[in-house]
Structure 1
């Protein structure tokens, strides 16, 4: 796990480095451009060096370079970027109930991850089985209680959901009653959507997957996913495995999260994944900018750095309502 002092130092450094550029850009815009109608937008981003991602170890100082945000291809004016590393997090932990039995060996790692979340975080635990969404623990700030609500998966076909993304939709509804802030889903699943048949289970054909991405973007919920084989993928069918992993990768990438795999087989341990996830959560920032787009609808976002060694992860878009 990362040391908090390193995280704070990095946050300060990034802020000091980029804010001076933002302030200068704003002064230039005030001088050279006429006033126009704008609105304020805040999006979560994660900032890393490529070396950190390879070695899973945080550097104390990072040359973030100039941060550039584009909305529907148009560059926007950045107002601020601030660290939210120690801010509470609302997280729904979703576990597919027909995962292979080796998933039960990971319960301790999952519980320890829940306990390690920042103070004030809210956690919900639910299992995806058949056509139902079984909530073991509603959103609670009692992280120990949430961790203890975990149970062994059933590991048989009778418990298999036709689509794990129906469960994601159900979980997303539970965020409506929560205050604004960091929001995430941890989805432990094989990612395979067979609701319209095995032949239509690819990441580009799943309507449930598409709807889950749209709804998660609307609610600013990042989806982090861990692949583990289940009923239809435990036999080593490479086509189904790749369809499932591709679907997990798509929902994570397009919502600002990340998908974790260990080749095409079930991981021996989740511990390395949780180390990586801890790094991700410790590098989150709230980026606020002025948008020149005033019409309601969906907007694509792209955030880059002028430093080629920097990688910035974020949701690929949001809905303005």
Structure 2
């Protein structure tokens, strides 16, 4: 399986996803052309459903959902809802040189402290990774939240930033965790100066292996677009737009933390999402390659977040 994951990441690295901002119309993508044998016949999808006020919706049934694959309806063969059981978190913190600006590294540490405060000690598991140009394993997966907070003072900001490469590598490690409820939480200022992959590449990789990416962008209130600030840009788009698209396609979300209140709210929202998930499964396509997914509910007032696609293996039976 590890070699298959490498093949997937290598194949998808050159594939382009053409994304538009999350707010407004939905992103549009080119289908990645990579194929590999996954050895599974069912595709599982975790979905978070919220009402218009952002509250989790818990009482839906199988008949309330629709799964579209490449635009065609697919029967849901397995279904469940869970707000119990362990959650696996991989936390990836930016410790590149740009994080020294506006005390962003201190703000990132505070995000993680708030996040850990919502953990179920002894049951949930968390690992801490850090990156500049290279990815570092700071604390392996543990059910001891204190081990994470104890490691935070050791982080120092220096070097260039390979944000997207680090997300791709860390998502691969999350794929092997035993809990079906898992996520990668990235705490960063959003700048990238050294990656070989793009945000679009990473979206495809994480979506295909069903690891939602939640991005918490730490920034000064002067740069917060919702507070009348001037958003930071990289290339031709605000960094928040690119990161929001990345999170959207993996079934995750992007949040901004520029004040203590936003920091606390972001941590609570992340944990709430992962504790209230629906699990859906359908039969994998017999046509090898990338397949677009859309999970919807029959109630148009509800918002659904789920991964945007998967890679199917060749099959001897028709579809």
Q: Using structure 2 for the length normalisation, give the TM-score.
A: 0.71
Q: Distance in 2 between matches of 1:96 and 1:69?
A: 35
Matched, 1:187 2:186: yes
Q: Would you say the 8 A contact 2:70–2:291 is kept in 1?
A: yes
How far apart are 1:124 and its partner, in Å? 1.2
State the partner residue of 1:143: 145
State the partner residue of 2:218: 228
Q: Distance in 1 between matches of 2:268 and 2:191?
A: 25
Q: Deviations over 1:116-149 (max 9, x none)?
A: 23453221112212x2222210122222212322
State the partner residue of 2:172: 173
Residue 198 (structure 2) aligned to one of 194, 208, 216: 208
Q: Would you say the 8 A contact 2:293–2:308 is kept in 1?
A: yes
How far apart are 1:169 and its partner, in Å? 2.2
State the partner residue of 1:240: 234
Q: Distance in 2 between matches of 1:65 and 1:84?
A: 17
1:209 to 1:238, Cα distance in 2 relative to 1, 3 A: closer
How far apart are 1:281 and its partner, in Å? 1.7
How far apart are 1:243 and its partner, in Å? 2.9
- Report how many aligned residue pairs link the two structures: 261
Larger Rg belongs to: 1
1:290 to 1:244, Cα distance in 2 relative to 1, 3 A: same
State the partner residue of 1:271: 264
Q: Distance in 2 between matches of 1:115 and 1:132?
A: 28
Q: Would you say the 8 A contact 1:127–1:136 is kept in 2?
A: yes
Q: Would you say the 8 A contact 1:64–1:310 is kept in 2?
A: no
Residue 253 (structure 1) aligned to one of 241, 248, 251: 248
1:64 to 1:212, Cα distance in 2 relative to 1, 3 A: same
Matched, 1:317 2:309: yes
Other structure's SS at 2:146 match: helix
State the partner residue of 1:307: 299
Q: Would you say the 8 A contact 1:112–1:147 is kept in 2?
A: no
Matched, 1:124 2:116: no
Q: Distance in 1 between matches of 2:43 and 2:280?
A: 8
Q: CA RMSD in A?
A: 3.1
Matched, 1:87 2:85: yes
After the TM superposition, which of the residue ranges 146-155 and 272-281 deviates more from structure 2? 146-155
Other structure's SS at 2:165 match: helix
Q: Would you say the 8 A contact 1:124–1:139 is kept in 2?
A: yes
1:151 to 1:86, Cα distance in 2 relative to 1, 3 A: farther
Bigger fraction of residues in helix: 1
Residue 281 (structure 1) aligned to one of 274, 290, 297: 274
Other structure's SS at 2:210 match: coil
1:106 to 1:178, Cα distance in 2 relative to 1, 3 A: closer
Structure 2: gaps spanning 5 or more residues: 1-39, 314-319
Q: Distance in 1 between matches of 2:174 and 2:268?
A: 25
Q: Would you say the 8 A contact 1:249–1:259 is kept in 2?
A: yes
How far apart are 1:287 and its partner, in Å? 0.9
Structure 1: gaps spanning 5 or more residues: 1-37, 197-205
Q: Distance in 1 between matches of 2:147 and 2:41?
A: 41
Within-5 A mapping of 1:31-70: 39-51=41-53, 53=54, 57=55, 66-70=64-68
Q: Distance in 1 between matches of 2:57 and 2:277?
A: 15
1:76 to 1:64, Cα distance in 2 relative to 1, 3 A: closer
Q: Would you say the 8 A contact 2:188–2:215 is kept in 1?
A: yes
Other structure's SS at 1:147 match: helix
State the partner residue of 1:72: 70
How far apart are 1:61 and its partner, in Å? 5.9
Q: Using structure 1 for the length normalisation, give the TM-score.
A: 0.71
How far apart are 1:68 and its partner, in Å? 0.9
